[in-house]
Structure 1
Amino acid sequence: MITQNSINQLTYEIIGAAIEVHKILGKGLLESVYHKCMIEELKIRKINFKSEFKVPINYKGVDLDFDFKCDLFIEDLVIVELKAVNEILPIHDAQLLTYMKLLSVPKGLILNFHSNNIFREGQKTLVNEHFKNIPK
């Protein structure tokens, strides 16, 4: 059974994988490098995911063609957007919230590998109404 606690535990494991990647590589690389390394780290940890998952958009029964791709879609429960930027901006939040809404996903993470410390300043967690409706 999916609970808020199980989703929070999965989030903890994802952040742990990001911390490991950041510990090995440090900051200053391109997002694509962190993306490939996160894929490997998730495989090592046996966490199921889809990479560069195309987000479908259906409006009144019509599939619309948008080039929306979330970086990582983990266990069909958490969307992860990877960044290597000076700061997380409101547009990054909007991107993640859009993917969460379109996929009816309860939780999303922005992981910024350009930070000095992933745990303290390099991650942002967002939840929506789907998360609030899941039992604790």
Structure 2
Amino acid sequence: MNTDRLNELSKIIVDACYQVHVTIGPGLLESVYEFALLKEFELRQIKALNQVPVKLFYKGFDTGKSYAIDILVEDEIVLEIKSSEIMHPVYEAQIISYLKLANKRLGFLVNFNSPLIKDGIKRFVNNI
């Protein structure tokens, strides 16, 4: 996917997060925000899947382990959803690992438990 399309989708994602935050506010379960974001993307005719399983390989060997991407937008952008009072550094490490393991270029860590959603969104780029 080209950079212009990724940037266009990034704006849509940030706006969708804003709409969800304004509509239902902070402090709810992550699953509520995940559901609401999926509806926002559906209303905007943006393909988004939740809890997308990705197998974990090590040097080409299947570890038998997998992880789940909270939301995958247009098969390209990883969203990791949080509703946490404290944003632990492990959350950033998690999305960076997800981007690498899924071979995706762009991701967002979104904490809906922020008074202002703009303070709860962090963008990550994987230089593949």
User: TM-score, normalization: structure 1?
Assistant: 0.88
In 2: Cα distance, 1:60 partner to 1:93 partner: 23
- The equivalences for 1:114-133 within 5 A come to 114-119=113-118, 121-130=119-128
Give 1 or 2: higher strand fraction.
2
**Structure 1's 67 and 104: CA in aligned 2 closer, same or farther, altered over 3 A?**
closer
- The equivalences for 1:1-136 within 5 A come to 2-119=1-118, 121-130=119-128
Q: How many residues align?
A: 128
Deviations 1:45-101 (A, max 9, x none): 111122101122123443222241110011121100000011322101111011100
Give the unaligned 5+ runs of structure 2: none
- Using CA pairs below 8 Å that are at least 6 residues apart, which structure has the higher relative contact order? 1
Give the unaligned 5+ runs of structure 1: 131-136
Residue type at the aligned position of 1:77: E
In 1: Cα distance, 2:65 partner to 2:90 partner: 17
Residues 55-64 or 90-99, more deviating: 55-64
Deviations 1:95-121 (A, max 9, x none): 1011100111001101110001112x0
List 4+ stretches of structure 1 deviating above 4 A.
none
In 2: Cα distance, 1:107 partner to 1:57 partner: 19
Residue type at the aligned position of 2:104: V
